[in-house]
Structure 1
């Protein structure tokens, strides 16, 4: 993690040749490096977005819900970063979109509204798929 952080500081565009690739990191995100991950998520740039991509669907994303939520709602973060944070959050079954959804609506910027809309569409699609399998309707959340 430290080497990646150093590389990102030396060459902020270190991912330019592989930004389109997807990686499988398996159990890379262990409890002992969560502090380093949190620290890297506070620094704008390619490393932060790479980590957000890698966190999607991992158990570590559940441990980082407050950090990911804050990043998704950060008006100073770029749109791609905010969307990647949302995707990581939505990959956590226990994540509750309702509070963040209300905060994004209150922000009322184009990026916040697009992020809220994407979150609602993703949760809605997942709820519809779940209700189709179970034969019951599902409430997304209460505002």
Structure 2
């Protein structure tokens, strides 16, 4: 898994349309606060598939559920979706194994920005992700 910060002139609808068939997902620049949060959500999504406890049918959507702390895809997407146009901070794209980012930049008509994510997460962020499915 790899996280990139991008900026693109595409509107949100076109962005999602172009990512639909890709093994990648776009989120608001503040939806993921650290590399550790992204790694935890990815690990939990993979584990959900391995244990057959996944809610989503695709890994990228299961990842969104975990990173957002939601249990339904519509609210996870609404919570994490980039704005209509990317601002100065851009948006984050999470690429899942096997996806090359050079081709993605062309697909999204985007430029790569410095990542600017902390390495370590705040304890409450990890707790929010980890405990999101405990009822």
Q: Which structure features the higher share of helix residues?
A: 1
Give the structure with the higher percent strand. 2
User: Which TM-score applies when normalising by structure 2?
Assistant: 0.29
Q: Which has the larger radius of gyration?
A: 1
Q: Normalising by structure 1, what TM-score?
A: 0.27
